[in-house]
Structures are given as C-alpha cells and as structure tokens.
Chains A and B, each alone.
Chain A
Amino acid sequence: MRFPVWLRPVLFILALLALWEIAIDLHPGQLMPGPVAAFAAIGELLQHGLLLKHVVASLFRVTWGFLLACVTAIPLGLVLGWYRRGERAFNPLVQLFRPISPLAWIPIAILWFGIGDLSSIFLIFVGSFFPLLVTAISAVHNIPEVYINAGRNFGLSSVDFFVRVIYPAVVPQLLVGMRITLGIAWLVVVAAEMIAVNSGLGFLIVDARNAGNRYDLVVAGMIVIGVIGLLLDLGMRALERVKSFQWTNQEN
C-alpha cells in the first residue's frame, strides 16, 4: 500500500506522540507532561483567548523587527555590494557586530526602550539586520556578470539599473536569506519575551513556570512556537517558488 508523500511525516509524528504518551504513562513520576496534557493545555489557552493574544503579540514584534531590518539592511547591502569601496570601509564594522548575539543586546534594549514591545522589536531588528546585510552584499557579488553586461547594453540610469537589473537578479538569494533570517527572528522573539515584556509566547512559557510550575503550559507554548516557526518557513518557501523569483534553480 502506498501512502501519499505528505502522509509519511504526519504518521511518523503521530507515532512519536503515541510513544511519548505511553512513556509518560508508564512513569508517573513525571519529568515532563505528556502530549495529551500539553494539547489539553493548548485547548485551555484557546478557551481563555490567551493563545491568540500571545501569538499575536509575538508575531507583531517579529513582523515589525524583521520588516524594519529588511527595509534598511537590504538596500544598504545592495549598495555596499555594488560599490565595493563602500563595502571595504563597512566590512570590519559588520564583522565586529555580527558575532554579537542579539541576546547580548537585551540590557541595552531595556535601557533604551524599557520593558515593552519596542525592546523586543529592537532585539529582533538587531538579530535580523546583520544576516540580511551580509546576504544582500554577497547576493550582489554573486550576480552573474552576463546579466550586468546585458543590462549595461541599454544605457540605463543608475537608479533604473538598480531597480531593473540588480534587484531582480538578487531576489532569489535574498529570499533564501530572508527565510533563514526570519527563523532567527523567531528564535530571538521568544528569548526577548522571556525578559523584556509581559506578553507573547516567550512570556507565556516563563510565566507558566513561575506561576505554579504549569509545565503542561510550558510544553503547550513550545509546541505552538514550533508550529508557527514551521508555518513561517513554509510561507517563505512558497514565496521562493513564485515563477519570476525562482529562476536561479534552473539557470547556470
């Protein structure tokens, strides 16, 4: 009997969940709650409207932090990638800032923006900015020379050349970089919310533990974080498959 391809991972996950539940039931001196308890906790959160509230809070911060990073880092990276002299000037600074974990910025974020959305947004911005900048710079360096020469043929102005040749030529690489960076942003938001705010999925997890060791809620939060991270990734992958974006896969 043949399963549809998508069914296999689903069955695999169901099997793992079953094993997890059985293992927990066999050892009632629980180290962690089983899936039944965790899903019950998700149901509980849904019922009180808390799940939606925390998910929206987290997504709100990620959206703003990530978008701000995109609209600043990508244009800057494209220009730096094209005008190599500028890149040489900037590069040491970029390399210095890049290895600093966004979490190291938490005290500064709180100092500048206090406890609240702005702090988390800032942290996500910092965490997304450098990966996006580096992606954009190297994307420009990787443009096949023939596209640049073909574009130069038509005597375009610098602005037109950027908009009509350089930008479309880097889109496929940018999308991959954006997908990976969005994954980072999603990691950062949870960490930021554990310290710098009092809503969101990160807060939910810390709060569930602090307020009465509700580990079923902790695991529920983790599952929701995983599922949303997966959906974000799938969304970005869908974007990569748009016909006028996906050309690198076939060419060269």
Chain B
Amino acid sequence: MALPGIAIPDQAAAPKLQVTNLGVVFQGNDKTIAALDNINLEISDGEFVCLVGPSGCGKSTLLNAMGGFLSPTSGSVSIDGELVSGPDSRRILVFQEHGVFPWLTVEGNIGFGLAKLSRSERAQRIAHYVELVQLQGFERSYPSDLSGGMKQRLQVARALAVNPDVLFLDEPFGALDSITRVMMRGELLRIWQAERRTILCVTHDIDEAVQLADRVVVLSSRPARIQNVLTIDIPHPRNISSPRYLTLRDELLKMIGLAYEI
C-alpha cells in the first residue's frame, strides 16, 4: 500500500522499485536502534528521486536496505517485481568519498565490474564512460592524482559502466567544496539525461534536491518515516530564479523545518 501523496505519476506502469512496509532495527549489545519505520515508496523507471532528512535519521540505512547490503527487519524491497536479497551489479551504491579503488587507475576502476566482457567490449565501455564523465587524458592516472570532484565522477562512471537498473547515491557530493558541488550537480543531470537510469540520491543540500529531482522524499528524524513527498514539476533546464522554483524550494524548506541540519 502506497502512502497518499507518493503515488507515481504514471499509474499504469509497474514501479521500477517498490519498498513495502520496510523496517530496520539494529541490535546492539545492550540496546536496539530502530533506524527505519514502515517505509513505503514506489519509484518509476528513469525517475530521479532525492532523499532528505536530518543527519543520523536512517538515510544511508534506507539506501543500504534498498541495495541489498543489509537485510530488513521487516518488509521488503523489490526491483522489477523481484525481491532484493543481496548486493548485485544491477544496482550500485555510490559513496560520499573514498569509494574508488586507490590501487587501480581510472581505467581499472571503470572496468572493475566488467570482468565478464571481452577485452574489446570492455575497452569500448571504458572509453565511453571516460568520455561521459569527462576524464579524458586521465585514463592511466591513479585516484591519488585526481581532485575530489574527479574521483566522484569516476565513482559514478564505474557504477554506470555495469549498466545498473538503479543507482543509489549516498551524499555523493557531500565532501566537495561548494563550487565543485554545483558543477557536479550539472554533470550528474547531464549524465542522467544521457543515460536515463533510475536514481535515488541522498543529499543534505536543498538546492541540489530541487534542481535535480523529479520528487523529493522528506524523512523524519530517527526512526526514519516518510514525512512528505514533494513533486518538482519543472522541466529541465530549471531556472533557479523562476517563481515556481522558488515556491517549491520554500515549500521543501518548510517541510524540513528549522529543526533539521541542512
């Protein structure tokens, strides 16, 4: 059962990703921590959804459960109607930082998930994604020689290279300086428009959410519940000084309230 207000725009199509009554409780030595409480969410194919919420509320836990990295205490996650039971390359999680393998070159990282392809197919795929994330000329470089923004582009390229159905981004630009972050936002949008993957992106940046997302899901403090869902009905490219943009941005800020760290 979907909560009111988070019905997908196109009711006819089956959802790409369906989260049903999802709950996660961590068992500590002496106490239990409820991280997710009865999350229901439907995401359609090719949709870009941003998740916002106070820090420590369970956003990463939600992504981990959706990606199969962590088995839920209750409820379920399914992608294309198939139950998610463990990590696999049809869905890739991109981490805030240090997610690329420092012992591999740019090429090695992008090709990491492509071991099953033939040599020439792999080379082609790598070349395509090097170009998509604009790392031409750095194919043989190690991550230690790349800037923070380049490393995150590399992580996105490595994720996309295995043709995942769904991409989970956990505060992908959170560790970058604000100028780089704005540039990366544009890059991500361009990549999403070129590749049309389903993307779920945790962010603590309100502008990032309103500029990128089709829908923004607002989570409560721990244990995370879905508090609100805001549909951003502005076509790309979005004019960030248009009245509609500013209205939606205000609305989102109101939903989050002052109690939140943003």
One digit per residue, 1 when the CB lies within 8 angstroms of any chain A CB and 0 when it does not, for chain B 32-56 equals 0000000000000000000000000
Q: Residue B87 at the A interface, CB < 8 A? A: yes
Chain A residues with Cβ below 8 Å from B86 are: 155
Partner of B95, one of A149, A250, A251: A149
Chain A residues with Cβ below 8 Å from B142 are: 243-244, 247
Decide if B144 touches A154 in the complex (CB within 8 Å). Answer: no
Decide if A154 touches B98 in the complex (CB within 8 Å). Answer: no
Q: Residue A235 at the B interface, CB < 8 A? A: no
A250 to B100, CA, bound (A): 13
Decide if B98 touches A251 in the complex (CB within 8 Å). Answer: yes
Decide if A149 touches B69 in the complex (CB within 8 Å). Answer: yes
Chain B residues with Cβ below 8 Å from A150 are: 93, 95, 99-101, 155
Q: Residue B81 at the A interface, CB < 8 A? A: no
Consensus secondary structure, chain B interface: loop
One digit per residue, 1 when the CB lies within 8 angstroms of any chain A CB and 0 when it does not, for chain B 71-102 equals 00000000000000011110011010111111
Partner of B93, one of A153, A250, A252: A153
B216 to chain A, nearest CB (A): 25
Given the known inter-chain contacts A149-B69, A149-B95, A243-B142, please indicate yes or no for A154 contacting B113, CB distance below 8 A: yes
Q: Residue A245 at the B interface, CB < 8 A? A: yes
Chain A residues with Cβ below 8 Å from B103 are: 168-169, 171, 244-245, 247
Consensus secondary structure, chain A interface: helix
With CB as the reference atom, state the residue of chain B lying closest to A167.
B103
Chain B residues with Cβ below 8 Å from A146 are: 95, 97-99
Partner of A152, one of B69, B100, B115, B143: B69
Q: A195-247: which residues lie under 8 A (CB-CB) from chain B?
A: 243-245, 247
Q: Residue A144 at the B interface, CB < 8 A? A: yes
Kindly state the interface size class of chain B when it binds its partner.
20 to 34
One digit per residue, 1 when the CB lies within 8 angstroms of any chain B CB and 0 when it does not, for chain A 145-186 equals 011011111110000100011001101000000000000000
Q: B124-168: which residues lie under 8 A (CB-CB) from chain A?
A: 142-144, 155, 159, 162
A251 to B104, CA, bound (A): 13
A248 to B144, CA, bound (A): 9
Chain B residues with Cβ below 8 Å from A165 are: 101
With CB as the reference atom, state the residue of chain B lying closest to A160.
B115
B90 to chain A, nearest CB (A): 8
Partner of A247, one of B99, B102, B112: B102
A85 to chain B, nearest CB (A): 17
Given the known inter-chain contacts A144-B98, A169-B103, A252-B98, please indicate yes or no for A154 contacting B69, CB distance below 8 A: no
One digit per residue, 1 when the CB lies within 8 angstroms of any chain B CB and 0 when it does not, for chain A 128-156 equals 00000000000000001011011111110
A152 to B142, CA, bound (A): 21
Given the known inter-chain contacts A149-B93, A243-B142, A250-B144, please indicate yes or no for A155 contacting B87, CB distance below 8 A: yes
A91 to B24, CA, bound (A): 33
Which residue, of B86, B87, B100, has the highest number of chain A Cβ atoms within 10 A? B87
A125 to B100, CA, bound (A): 37
Given the known inter-chain contacts A168-B101, A245-B103, please indicate yes or no for A152 contacting B95, CB distance below 8 A: no
Chain B residues with Cβ below 8 Å from A153 are: 67, 87, 89, 92-93, 113, 159
Chain A residues with Cβ below 8 Å from B101 are: 147, 150-151, 165, 168-169
A171 to B100, CA, bound (A): 16
Which residue, of B67, B102, B113, B143, has the highest number of chain A Cβ atoms within 10 A? B102
A154 to B99, CA, bound (A): 13
With CB as the reference atom, state the residue of chain B lying closest to A165.
B101
Given the known inter-chain contacts A152-B87, A153-B92, please indicate yes or no for A244 contacting B98, CB distance below 8 A: no
One digit per residue, 1 when the CB lies within 8 angstroms of any chain A CB and 0 when it does not, for chain B 96-125 equals 011111111100000011010000000000
Decide if A154 touches B162 in the complex (CB within 8 Å). Answer: yes
Given the known inter-chain contacts A153-B89, A154-B112, please indicate yes or no for A244 contacting B104, CB distance below 8 A: yes
The list of the 7 closest CB pairs from A to B, nearest first, reads A247-B102, A155-B88, A250-B144, A168-B103, A154-B113, A152-B87, A150-B99
User: Which residue numbers of B lie inside 8 Å of A, CB to CB?
Assistant: 67, 69, 86-89, 92-93, 95, 97-105, 112-113, 115, 142-144, 155, 159, 162
15 chain-A/chain-B pairs, Cβ below 8 angstroms? A147-B98, A147-B101, A149-B93, A150-B93, A150-B95, A150-B99, A152-B87, A153-B93, A154-B113, A154-B162, A160-B115, A171-B103, A243-B142, A247-B103, A251-B143
Extra contacts, 19 of them, besides A151-B101, A251-B98 (Cβ < 8 A), are A146-B99, A150-B101, A154-B88, A154-B89, A154-B112, A154-B113, A154-B162, A155-B88, A155-B89, A164-B112, A165-B101, A168-B104, A169-B101, A171-B103, A244-B105, A244-B142, A247-B142, A251-B102, A252-B98
